[in-house]
Amino acid sequence: MTLASHYSSSRCAISFELFPPKTPAGMQALVKNVKRLTEFGPSYFTCTYGAGGSTRGTTLDVVEQVKRVTGLPVASHLTCVGSTVDQLADYLVEASQRGAEYIVALRGDPPKGSDRFEAVEGGLRYANELVELIRQRFAGLGIAVAGYPEVHQEAPDAKTDLDNLKRKVDAGADIVVSQLFYNNDDFYRFRDACVAAGISIPIVPGILPVTNYKQAERIAAMCKAAIPASLANAMSENDDEDYQFNVGVEHARAQTVDLIENNAAGIHYYVLNKSEAAAKMLDGLELATG
Ligand code: FAD
C-alpha cells in the first residue's frame, strides 16, 4: 500500500511514532506497547533516527521488530546530519532490505550549542535534497516530510518556510507530517496556507499526548510549540501525577475529536514508546472523518 493511499478513505488514518530504545528491556517494553497500540487499527508505525545517525542500527532494529510483530508497514526516519550522499544511499538500501516501506525524510537539527546546520562535505543541505535523492534512486519508497504549523525555528517567516515546504513536495514527497502542536487553530491556519500555496498531498497533524506539566514545557520548548494558557493553568494547578496525566490526555483527546470533525486526513501520534496515554485518549473514539 502506498503511503498516500492510507489517507484516501473516509476513516481518519492514524499512525504512531516510536524511538529506538537504548536497552534490551526498553525494546521488550516497546514491543509490548506496540501490540497494545495495534488494537487501535493504525495504518503504520514510524521510528525516529537519532541525532547525527547515533541510532542508525537501532532504528532499523525497531523497524524489523515492529513489522514482525504487527505485519504493518513501518517507516524509518532519516536525517542528513553527518552523512554523505553515499552513506545516506547505503542506509536507504539497508532500510529497504530490512523492511522499511516508507522514509520520513528530514534535514535534522544543528548540533547542540550551534544554531546553524552545516552539511558535511559530500552531504546534503536541506530535506528537499534528500527527497530528490530518494525519488531518483529508491523509487519504491514512500516519502513523508516535516511541516511546521508554528513555523520552523530557523525560518525568517511563515511564507519562506512554506516556500521551503513546497520544495519538498515538488521534489516528490507523498505526505506532510506536522510538528506537534497544542492549539488546533495553528494547524488549520497552516493547512489552509498549504492548500493556498498549491500543496495538494495529505497534511497530517502531529499530536503528542503530554502526561505531565514538566514534560509539556520541555517538549514545547524543544519543538517551539506554544502551550495554550488553559492547558498550562489546568496542568500546573495540581502536582498529582494522575491528575496531570488525565488533564494532558483529555487535551489530546479533545484535539483528536476536533481534528476528526474538521476532516483531518489522518493523525500522527508521538507516543514516546508508551501505550497507556494513547489507549486512554483513543478509547471508544470513532476514527471516521465527517
Ligand atoms: P528542512 O525542510 O530542510 O528545513 C530546515 C530549515 O531550512 C527550515 O527553516 C526551512 O524553512 C529552511 N529550508 C528548507 N529548504 C530550504 C532551501 N532549499 N533553501 C533555503 N532554506 C531552506 N529530527 C531528528 O533528528 N530525527 C528524527 O527522526 C526526526 N523526526 C521528525 C519527524 C517530524 C514529523 C518532524 C516534524 C520533525 C522531526 N525531526 C527529527 C526534527 C527535524 O529534524 C528538525 O525540525 C530540523 O530542524 C528540520 O528538519 P526538516 O526536515 O524540516 O528540514
**Res. 286: pLDDT tops 90:** no
**So what's the pLDDT on residue 288?**
61
Domain assignment present for residue 107? The answer is yes
Domain assignment present for residue 287? The answer is no
**So what's the pLDDT on residue 115?**
78
**So what's the pLDDT on residue 290?**
45
**So what's the pLDDT on residue 68?**
97
**Res. 216: pLDDT tops 90:** no
DSSP result, 241-288 = HHHHHHHHHHHHHHHHHHHHHTT-SEEEEE-TT--HHHHHHHTT---B
Domain assignment present for residue 288? The answer is no
Domain assignment present for residue 162? The answer is yes
What share of the chain in percent tops pLDDT 70?
98
**So what's the pLDDT on residue 88?**
97
> For ligand 1, is residue 77 a contact (CB within 6 Å)?
yes
Q: How many CB atoms lie within 10 A of CB 110?
A: 14
Task: Give the phi and the psi of residue 103 in degrees, each rounded to 5.
Answer: -125, 130
Domain assignment present for residue 21? The answer is yes
End-to-end distance of the chain based on CA atoms, in angstroms?
Answer: 24
The structural domain count of the chain equals 1
Helix (H) / strand (E) containing 30: helix 24-38
Collapse the DSSP code of 94 into the 3-class scheme (helix H, G, I; strand E, B; otherwise coil) and give the result. Answer: helix
| pLDDT tens digits along 38-94 | 999 999 999 999 876 677 789 999 999 999 999 999 999 999 999 999 999 999 999
Beta bridge partners of 16: 45, 269
Residue 17 bears catalytic tag: yes
CATH number at residue 247: 3.20.20.220
> For ligand 1, is residue 208 a contact (CB within 6 Å)?
no
- Dist CA 210 CA 250 (whole Å): 10
Residue nearest to atom 32 of ligand 1 (CA): 146
**So what's the pLDDT on residue 289?**
55
In Å, the largest CA–CA distance within the chain is 53
| pLDDT tens digits along 120-153 | 999 999 999 999 999 999 999 999 999 999 999 9
Out of 16, 117, 152, mutate this one to test ligand 1's pocket (max ligand atoms within 8 Å of CB): namely 152
Domain assignment present for residue 143? The answer is yes
Q: What is the mean pLDDT of residues 215-225?
A: 86
**Res. 247: pLDDT tops 80:** yes
Residue nearest to atom 11 of ligand 1 (CA): 161
For 61, 63, 76, 196, 288, the CA distances from 20, given in Å and listed in that order, are: 8, 9, 11, 37, 31
Residue nearest to atom 14 of ligand 1 (CA): 164
107 CA → ligand 1 middle, Å: 5
Residue nearest to atom 16 of ligand 1 (CA): 164
Domain assignment present for residue 289? The answer is no
Domain assignment present for residue 196? The answer is yes
| pLDDT tens digits along 192-206 | 999 999 999 999 999
| pLDDT tens digits along 204-213 | 999 999 999 8
Which structural domain, as residue segments, surrounds residue 129?
Answer: 4-282
248 CA → ligand 1 middle, Å: 27
